[in-house]
A and B are shown apart, each in its own frame.
Chain A
Amino acid sequence: MLRKIHCIMMAAGFTLLARTATTWACAVCLGGESDSLTDGFKASVLFLMATPYLVVGSIVCGLIFNYRRALKKREKSETLEPIGHLAWNQEDSVR
């Protein structure tokens, strides 16, 4: 029963979102849907919404790239010693 109510509420929410005339009203810019100032705000908001994802994604990619480069550098070294891994076998469990 609760699940049905949740489904109905979600359907109502998506229906509201689909009504563009309702959702495009902006209380700050006091402009209509086709006003150039509204277009300016829309572009700016979209850009500013996307930027944090780009920034954080770049940082994460940088960290992953650095990690993989460090692994490759260490795998080229002659003495291979395991560290920080789980003890999968009897040899590694003896510590």
Chain B
Amino acid sequence: MAKSSTARKLDDAPLVQADRRPAFGGGGPPAPPVRPNTPIANNAWLAVLMLLGAEAMFFAGLIGAFLVFRIASPVWPPPFQPRLPTAVTAINTLILLASAVTIRLGMRANQRGDRARLVRLLLWTAAAGTSFLLIQGFEWFRLIHFGLTVSSSVYGGLFYTIIGCHGLHVFGALIWLVVVWQNARAGKYTRQNYVGLQTCGMYWTFVVGLWPVLYGLVYLY
């Protein structure tokens, strides 16, 4: 009767003895033991969620600034500016998207208890992220050589600011990923203890999911 209507289980914590006092006039049989309340969402997970919200607003500001200059200019890209390498960056985009798949598969492998597969997939993710950064860096050198710099025009300033900020975020996520990979090799993550892996996966997924938006706006629009 009591359990079908509004009873909800909220945690798996061990049972503790409750201080049982009879209701008015004694009442019926004693109530079941009370479990202590534990939060549904982990604190670290919630903190990273808030961080991602702040990062999203940061990039929204940059995108807003880009929109002002892009729409205000009758000709875009401006004349006498080097053209961006859209084809190479498209391949780079696919590499980065593949890294999001590998880290998600790694998290699933951890839930199944397959540590070796987790370590292997984290390594693939780090490799994909590193190759993304290296290819981006190589293309940047070429663009600087062709005359597109931060101070050459608003076009150059916007490009390096937006893409550079994203690249810094990918670099930071890569460092985090390497630390997580080391922890995974040491066997730190289990089916019950996976918060570090989960939060790293959230951040990585965010920087990967952000890239197609920036690519579409800066390179293609």
Contacts and interface: CB of A to CB of B under 8 A. Distances in A.
A59 interface: yes
Interface string A30-51: 0000001101110111011001
B31 A77 contact: no
Nearest to B6: A85
Interface string A50-61: 011011101100
From DSSP, what is the main secondary structure of chain B's interface residues?
A: loop
Which of B63, B69, B72, B74 gathers the greatest number of chain A CB atoms within 10 Å?
Answer: B72
Contacts of B23: 90, 93-94
State which size class the interface on B falls in.
35 or more
Interface string A65-95: 0110011001101001111111011111111
B14 to A, nearest CB: 11
Contacts of B12: 74, 77
A33 B90 CA distance: 37
A43 B67 contact: yes
Contacts of B6: 82, 85-86, 88
Contact of B2 (A39, A51, A91): A91
A74 B11 contact: yes
B71 A39 contact: yes
Interface in B41-95: 41, 45, 49-50, 53, 56-57, 60-61, 63-65, 67-74
A85 B9 CA distance: 9
B150 to A, nearest CB: 21
A94 B20 contact: yes
B145 interface: no
Given A77-B12, A94-B31, A95-B21, 13 more contacts: A36-B71, A36-B72, A45-B64, A48-B61, A54-B56, A55-B57, A71-B9, A74-B8, A83-B11, A85-B7, A86-B6, A89-B2, A95-B31
29 contacts: A36-B72, A36-B74, A39-B71, A43-B68, A55-B53, A55-B60, A56-B53, A59-B53, A62-B49, A63-B41, A66-B45, A74-B8, A74-B12, A81-B9, A81-B32, A81-B34, A82-B3, A83-B37, A84-B37, A85-B6, A89-B2, A91-B31, A92-B2, A93-B31, A94-B20, A94-B31, A95-B19, A95-B31, A95-B34
